[in-house]
């Protein structure tokens, strides 16, 4: 479980960043982070991963303060890892197999385990359909799937997904929702950021709304997304289901069941 207290990080160059963040994840839950461009979502994720060291406040993992030494960060990455917004920054090999197996290999796992995890994760994201294609020839969405497979293969207790559905086709988006829910059901903590409010509504148990580097609301997804004023302040549109249910006076649960 991750917990942030008064987490504050500003970039040296722009002085932009995040301010006074109180945030926590929970085993078995999918937590969403939403906000307009530049709200601070990716910056928060990078702080949770230890890529940025806060100027103030702290990140705690299972009650322990984050250790920013090299060995501390290596051990941290075995517990928490992240699918970056841009897959290009996450893929290092030409072969999909080499890329996905790199993480488990670095963990020093036995060959048979590395091989089983690699195959399983490649199949999970549907990358087996283009497994032999060199990574540089893949489309953006295909690269995204490979990046996701690489993180899944690490089997971390907390997985951060920064805009995981960008570039994925509708079928893959659906598979992704299923996969994320399954990860949570298996007892992992998942944190997702997205601009797709319908996806967040479907996927997340709880959400945090960010605006100009701060958290302006958090709570159960439906409760927060129903608040027109909060969503307006964050320049976000409310999910279609909530808007339809309000317009026609139908309970969202009934609408959901009807889908």
Ligand X SMILES: Nc1ncnc2c1ncn2[C@@H]1O[C@H](COP(=O)(O)OP(=O)(O)OP(=O)(O)O)[C@@H](O)[C@H]1O
CA angle centred on 47, ends 54 and 1, rounded to 5°:
115
Q: Quick one: 191 exposed, middle or buried, by C-beta within 10 A (0-12, 13-18, 19+)?
A: buried
User: What is the secondary structure of 129-186 as a DSSP string?
Assistant: GGTTS-GGGS-HHHHHHHHHHHHHTT--SEEEEESTTTT--HHHHHHHHHHHHHHHHT
If the CB atoms of residues 41 and 145 are measured against ligand X, the closer one turns out to be 41
Which of Mg ion, ligand X, none lies near 35, with the C-beta cut-off 5 to 8 A by kind?
A: ligand X
If the CB atoms of residues 126 and 141 are measured against Mg ion, the closer one turns out to be 141
Judged by CB under 5 A, the stretch of 42-50, 94-102, 175-183, 205-213 that binds Mg ion is 42-50
Task: State the nearest-atom distance from the C-beta of 52 to ligand X, in Å.
Answer: 9
If the CB atoms of residues 37 and 69 are measured against ligand X, the closer one turns out to be 37
Partnered with residue 64 across adjacent β-strands are: 61
| Distance from the Cα of residue 109 to its chain's centroid | 25
Interface residue with Mg ion, options 8, 25, 40, 42 (CB under 5 A):
42
User: Cα(36)–Cα(154) distance, rounded to whole angstroms?
Assistant: 30
Q: Which helix (H) or strand (E) is 10 found in, with range? A: strand 2-10
* Residue 16 engages ligand X in binding (rule: CB under 6 A): yes
User: Cα(73)–Cα(67) distance, rounded to whole angstroms?
Assistant: 6
- Taking residue 169's Cβ as centre, other Cβ atoms within 10 Å add up to 11
Which of ligand X, Mg ion, none lies near 188, with the C-beta cut-off 5 to 8 A by kind?
A: none
* Residue 40 engages ligand X in binding (rule: CB under 6 A): yes
* Residues in 76-105 that interact with ligand X by CB under 6 A: 85
User: Cα(33)–Cα(41) distance, rounded to whole angstroms?
Assistant: 7
If the CB atoms of residues 42 and 101 are measured against Mg ion, the closer one turns out to be 42
Which of ligand X, Mg ion, none lies near 150, with the C-beta cut-off 5 to 8 A by kind?
A: none
Interface residue with ligand X, options 2, 7, 9, 17 (CB under 6 A):
17
* Residue 41 engages ligand X in binding (rule: CB under 6 A): yes
CB 127 within 8 A of CB 135: no
* Residue 194 engages Mg ion in binding (rule: CB under 5 A): no
* Residue 71 engages ligand X in binding (rule: CB under 6 A): no
Judged by CB under 6 A, the stretch of 8-16, 116-124, 137-145, 245-253 that binds ligand X is 8-16
- The tokens for 184 are 């949570």
Which of Mg ion, ligand X, none lies near 40, with the C-beta cut-off 5 to 8 A by kind?
A: ligand X
Give contact residues for ligand X (rule: CB under 6 A): 11, 13-14, 16-17, 35, 37-43, 85
């Amino acid at each position: 479980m991750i917990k942030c207290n008064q987490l504050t990080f500003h970039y040296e160059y722009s002085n932009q960043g995040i301010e006074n963040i109180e945030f926590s994840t929970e085993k078995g839950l999918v937590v969403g982070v939403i906000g307009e461009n530049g709200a601070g979502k990716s910056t928060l994720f990078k702080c949770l991963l230890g890529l940025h060291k806060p100027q103030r406040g702290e990140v705690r993992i299972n009650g322990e303060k984050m250790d920013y030494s090299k060995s501390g960060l290596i051990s941290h990455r075995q517990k928490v890892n992240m699918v970056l917004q841009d897959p290009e920054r996450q893929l290092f090999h030409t072969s999909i197999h080499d890329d996905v197996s790199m993480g488990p290999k670095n963990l020093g796992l036995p060959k048979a385990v590395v091989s089983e995890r690699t195959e399983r994760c490649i199949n999970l994201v549907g990358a087996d359909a283009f497994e032999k294609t060199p990574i540089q020839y893949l489309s953006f969405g295909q690269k995204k799937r490979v990046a996701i497979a690489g993180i899944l293969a690490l089997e971390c207790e907390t997985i951060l997904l920064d805009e995981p559905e960008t570039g994925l086709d509708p079928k893959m988006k659906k598979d992704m929702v299923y996969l994320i829910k399954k990860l949570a059901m298996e007892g992992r903590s998942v944190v997702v950021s997205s601009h797709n409010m319908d996806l967040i509504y479907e996927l997340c148990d709880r959400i945090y709304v960010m605006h100009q580097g701060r958290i302006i609301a958090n709570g159960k997804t439906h409760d927060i997304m129903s608040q027109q004023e909060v969503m307006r302040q964050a320049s976000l549109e409310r999910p279609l289901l909530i808007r339809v249910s309000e317009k026609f006076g139908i309970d969202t649960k009934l609408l959901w069941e009807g889908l």
